[in-house]
A and B are shown apart, each in its own frame.
Chain A
């Protein structure tokens, strides 16, 4: 297990290296000059030239790339071309905002998705099964921005239950410590703010969690259906074990591996793919940070932002792989 983990971590190096290279070239291949974008429509040619030089963008690509990689090894993620601030210093609040939102979205997705999938499989071809699977199909095909706007309309405008945008009640702002507001408010014992933060998480959490929820539900259902037809399930039932335990204990454990894979992949996707949700809900997350940077041709932010998301993505997959062994003793990593 340890050897496997180390081997996987070592494999990270070429993966991330290749990724930096691809991102580095792709963003330089698209037209649009950062100096031009920073200086705006009015800029003169000399100004653009001189800023290009100041930003180091007049250097040949390989020198720029080597400089960037060198910086990475010393923990320097570069400096934003647009705001001139250190990326390593400013990236965490964005990342924290997205992490918090993605985790909540995944909790909602897993809780509802897995349960809906199980019940659908348990009572295959029942009204619940049909309804749940139609809903799942709708969920997968629903555009997130539309769902988000509809949620805002229904739950904040019509019903007035939940706030429509932002992470907190800005009139009663959370004092950031870790930038994970759920934790920050708990540390400070501010239950009023904790409730506010939870309320702000619900609508974007559901919007972001809907697609994974639908995918997880469908995956759980098909995986469960397969397992529930196997011999050991029949045996367990023949022994007189209560159906609930047969389903939730014996079958689920055996059916969970593919579900876990999907969960891992979806979690990774949410981290980078929350841009739409972040835009609709005014959420200051990493998706928007990188997206804005693309508009401004802010190369270092794009490179380092994608790098960080990729690292997390790879780690989540590693954790998922390690969890396989924990769930299914037949899987061993040697």
Chain B
């Protein structure tokens, strides 16, 4: 009798679990293998899995990469970057002219382009957008200020005027030459938005973006997905290929990989370096590497004892085995750094002789500096993974053990991310792991932003200050001649190398995973990808 009850109850339980499973088996192809909606099926739907949601979809008003990933596909910029580099190419402007003195830029716009709301794109809409930004404030248009030196009325503001010469010609007059001006115009934040839509939606434009880009904004459920659909009237003939793109937020890297392997998403970014080989060995999947435009480094706060001594900083530079770190934590997909900027950037100094991994040299330098017996210091480890630093804690441990060999006793510390940044910015760390991904592919965006004395308290976390370097960097900012400018940056890198305010660690190639059906996808070094030419092959 007893047994019968047990059996029947166990049976009920098993049945309920079993039903759950079976219910799925005949449907699993729905989620797994491409389009089951049977809708406009030609180009198909691409699902892009990423770690976080966007903040807002008004590119001028945001600073986070997750927002740009989407706006890059809804909006176009006046000029665009090359497919996998930051060379200047035509965008909404087909052609451009620069005056002799480098202070007047004339852009000839593409004709017949329409915004998604049906209004015309022309010179007036460009002027409208620039007027909107230059009359703004730093909180609302952060990148505008940072790239163009301020707003209307500010002394540092580079742009004197933006005028429509005729329907399809825009003239920019600058107060002084700005070498990276064209590169700046190609940045995602300076995409041209529909003036009508901006007026109509006001504050809510970030939730109702209207541009001229390859995809039209459709819907957004926060923390879940953003859907964009094909712009049938896109100006580039025959593009985009896809009918629909869905950006899904799946925060955990491993779970996102599971979703990719299960076929629920077609592309993912933030592939763990340690998972690269697994994806490579799966015949249905493919690994993509984003060309490197970043640097991961260990900052040596140069106003703290004993790191204020140049010899000590040089000694520590000799004590890090970068290749070992790359092999262990970047799956080999990075190159050791010797300069504060990656080699793809114009002006990179090839001739710098890197501080080789040599503990004897390091000890000798410490001895010269009077720290023969070593010293104690803090070594801060980033608490969050970033493309240039997939595992801050482990990298810190490796550096810690190398330092121990030259008698430097480093204590690893870590804080929650916002706290970490604030404390490091305040100069509270002896040494700290950090990194940077370039915004516009210009040397200024690395050297000036990260190491000039102007940026102490902002992005120069090491409090490194050198007047000679400062003069070079300022001169380079207004030197339009590319060759001369590159020479200045090369000289700047020599100074930085000698002063050693950082231990430059790596330039990494962040990995992405995708279904092998995804074709024509070329990850862009800036971190936001245009999906215009991507196609999904039938299985």
Question: Interface readout for B79-116 with A: 1 if CB under 8 Å, 0 if not?
Answer: 00000000000000000000000000000000000000
For residue B421, give the distance in angstroms from its CB to the closest CB of chain A: 7
CA distance A129 to B221 in the complex (A): 46
Q: Pick the contact of A172 from B1, B36, B146, B258 — CB < 8 Å?
A: B36
Instruction: Give the chain B neighbours of A30 by CB distance below 8 A.
Output: 416, 419
Interface presence of B281 (CB below 8 A): no
Instruction: Give the chain A neighbours of B418 by CB distance below 8 A.
Output: 31-33, 36-37, 295-297
Q: Which residues, 200 to 246 on B, are CB-close (under 8 Å) to A?
A: 203, 206-207, 221-225, 227, 246
Instruction: Give the chain A neighbours of B6 by CB distance below 8 A.
Output: 119, 123, 128
Q: How large is the interface on A (under 10, 10 to 19, 20 to 34, 35 or more residues)?
A: 35 or more
Interface presence of B64 (CB below 8 A): yes
Question: Interface readout for A277-295 with B: 1 if CB under 8 Å, 0 if not?
Answer: 0011110100011001001
For residue A172, give the distance in angstroms from its CB to the closest CB of chain B: 5
B264 and A165 form a contact (CB under 8 A): yes
Instruction: Give the chain B neighbours of A157 by CB distance below 8 A.
Output: 258, 261-262
A170 and B246 form a contact (CB under 8 A): yes
Q: Pick the contact of A159 from B21, B252, B417 — CB < 8 Å?
A: B21
For residue A177, give the distance in angstroms from its CB to the closest CB of chain B: 13
For residue A202, give the distance in angstroms from its CB to the closest CB of chain B: 5
Q: Pick the contact of B21 from A38, A145, A162, A289 — CB < 8 Å?
A: A162
Instruction: Give the chain A neighbours of B2 by CB distance below 8 A.
Output: 123, 243
Interface presence of B422 (CB below 8 A): yes
Instruction: Give the chain A neighbours of B139 by CB distance below 8 A.
Output: 39, 47, 50-51, 54
Q: Pick the contact of B423 from A31, A82, A84, A289 — CB < 8 Å?
A: A31
Q: Pick the contact of B264 from A44, A54, A90, A164 — CB < 8 Å?
A: A164
Instruction: Give the chain A neighbours of B32 by CB distance below 8 A.
Output: 160
A295 and B252 form a contact (CB under 8 A): no
Interface presence of A45 (CB below 8 A): yes
Kindly count the residue-residue contacts between A and B in the assembled complex, taking CB atoms under 8 Å apart.
202
Interface presence of B24 (CB below 8 A): yes
Instruction: Give the chain B neighbours of A297 by CB distance below 8 A.
Output: 418
Q: Which residues, 203 to 239 on A, are CB-close (under 8 Å) to B?
A: none
Q: Which residues, 16 to 36 on B, are CB-close (under 8 Å) to A?
A: 16, 20-25, 27-28, 30-32, 35-36
Interface presence of B276 (CB below 8 A): no
Q: Which residues, 187 to 211 on A, are CB-close (under 8 Å) to B?
A: 195-196, 198-199, 202
For residue B29, give the distance in angstroms from its CB to the closest CB of chain A: 9
B27 and A199 form a contact (CB under 8 A): yes
With CB as the reference atom, state the residue of chain B lying closest to A176: B221
Instruction: Give the chain A neighbours of B421 by CB distance below 8 A.
Output: 32, 36-37, 41
Interface presence of B286 (CB below 8 A): no
The interface stretch among A5-13, A62-70, A147-155, A318-326 is A147-155
Q: Pick the contact of B9 from A51, A115, A149, A196 — CB < 8 Å?
A: A115
Interface presence of A256 (CB below 8 A): no
B13 and A115 form a contact (CB under 8 A): yes
Interface presence of B449 (CB below 8 A): yes
Beyond A152-B255, A161-B24, A281-B255, whether A41 also contacts B459 by CB under 8 A is: yes
Q: Which residues, 29 to 46 on B, are CB-close (under 8 Å) to A?
A: 30-32, 35-37, 45
Beyond A165-B264, A244-B5, whether A280 also contacts B255 by CB under 8 A is: yes
A31 and B422 form a contact (CB under 8 A): yes
Give the interface centre of B24, B36, B52, B55 by most chain A CB atoms within 10 Å. Answer: B24
B221 and A284 form a contact (CB under 8 A): yes
CA distance A115 to B203 in the complex (A): 54
CA distance A93 to B224 in the complex (A): 10
Instruction: Give the chain A neighbours of B416 by CB distance below 8 A.
Output: 30, 32, 295
CA distance A171 to B244 in the complex (A): 10
For residue A286, give the distance in angstroms from its CB to the closest CB of chain B: 10
A44 and B458 form a contact (CB under 8 A): yes
For residue B474, give the distance in angstroms from its CB to the closest CB of chain A: 17
Interface presence of A327 (CB below 8 A): no
A284 and B222 form a contact (CB under 8 A): yes
For residue A167, give the distance in angstroms from its CB to the closest CB of chain B: 7
CA distance A84 to B300 in the complex (A): 37
B21 and A42 form a contact (CB under 8 A): no
Interface presence of A111 (CB below 8 A): yes
Beyond A39-B142, A149-B254, whether A282 also contacts B27 by CB under 8 A is: no
Interface presence of A163 (CB below 8 A): yes
For residue A74, give the distance in angstroms from its CB to the closest CB of chain B: 20
Q: Which residues, 258 to 290 on A, are CB-close (under 8 Å) to B?
A: 279-282, 284, 288-289
CA distance A243 to B6 in the complex (A): 12
Interface presence of B47 (CB below 8 A): yes
Interface presence of B354 (CB below 8 A): no
B222 and A94 form a contact (CB under 8 A): yes
CA distance A198 to B16 in the complex (A): 13
B9 and A288 form a contact (CB under 8 A): no
Measured CB to CB, the residues of B under 8 A from A are: 1-2, 5-6, 9-10, 13, 16, 20-25, 27-28, 30-32, 35-37, 45, 47, 52, 55-56, 63-64, 137-139, 142, 145-146, 203, 206-207, 221-225, 227, 246, 248-252, 254-256, 258-259, 261-262, 264, 415-419, 421-423, 425, 436, 449, 457-459
For this complex, 23 residue pairs linking A to B, each with C-beta atoms less than 8 Å apart, are A31-B419, A32-B418, A33-B418, A41-B436, A42-B449, A43-B458, A82-B55, A84-B56, A90-B222, A93-B221, A93-B222, A111-B16, A115-B9, A119-B6, A156-B258, A156-B264, A160-B25, A162-B20, A163-B28, A166-B250, A243-B5, A244-B5, A279-B251
Going nearest first, the 9 A-B pairs with the smallest beta carbon separation are A32-B418, A282-B250, A284-B224, A284-B223, A47-B138, A161-B24, A40-B63, A152-B258, A51-B139
Measured CB to CB, the residues of A under 8 A from B are: 30-33, 36-47, 50-51, 54, 82-85, 90, 93-94, 111-112, 115, 119, 123, 128, 145, 148-149, 152-153, 155-157, 159-167, 169-173, 176, 195-196, 198-199, 202, 243-244, 279-282, 284, 288-289, 292, 295-297
Beyond the given pairs A41-B459, A44-B146, 17 more chain A to chain B contacts, judged by CB atoms under 8 angstroms and listed by A's residue number, are: A31-B418, A37-B418, A43-B138, A47-B139, A50-B138, A83-B206, A115-B13, A149-B258, A162-B28, A164-B255, A165-B259, A166-B264, A167-B224, A171-B246, A195-B27, A196-B31, A282-B249
